């Protein structure tokens, strides 16, 4: 498991450094990013399954409750932004896209924003669950 996390950190660091420095590390073989990403996703899923089987029932309930209530609430909070984007077009979020350096990548920006909202909601709900069950 340590190897997997180390490989993911190194891969992410290389891609981030390369992109920030203006390089083209995978320009000759863009499929390399897809292959490595697939390896990391499949490995992450396998590690998640092993981890899930190793935790106790209280931890499982906390995570299920947090994902259901917190993740759902986080996703629900995104709906007004979605409606605003549908009615106002790309210009509504141009400043936000520029701020996070994702101009022209609105689909990816929307997915990451929704994921971020779900994770924030999950984190808050997880803390609430443990606070109530301590």
Q: What is the pLDDT of residues 17-69, one digit of tens each?
A: 877 777 776 666 678 778 878 888 898 898 889 989 999 998 999 999 999 99
Q: What is the pLDDT of residues 65-86, one digit of tens each?
A: 999 999 999 999 989 888 888 8
**pLDDT score of 131 more than 80:** yes
Give residue 80's Cα distance to chain centre: 20
Q: Where are the alpha helices (DSSP H) in 21-105?
A: 31-54, 57-65, 72-88, 94-99
CA dihedral of residues 74, 95, 24, 32 (deg, nearest 10): 20
| The overall pTM is greater than 0.75 | no
**pLDDT score of 10 more than 90:** no
């Amino acid at each position: 498991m340590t190897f997997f996390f180390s490989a993911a950190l190194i891969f992410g660091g290389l891609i981030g450094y390369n992109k920030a420095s203006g390089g083209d590390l995978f320009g000759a073989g863009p499929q390399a990013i897809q292959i490595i990403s697939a390896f990391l996703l499949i490995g992450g899923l396998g590690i998640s399954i092993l981890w899930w089987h190793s935790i106790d029932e209280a931890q499982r309930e906390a995570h299920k409750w947090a994902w259901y209530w917190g993740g759902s609430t986080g996703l629900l909070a995104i709906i007004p932004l979605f409606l605003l984007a549908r009615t106002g077009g790309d210009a509504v979020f141009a400043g936000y896209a520029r701020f996070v350096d994702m101009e022209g990548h609105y689909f990816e920006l929307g997915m990451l924003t929704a994921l971020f909202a779900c994770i924030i909601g999950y984190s808050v709900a997880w803390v609430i669950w443990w606070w109530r069950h301590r």
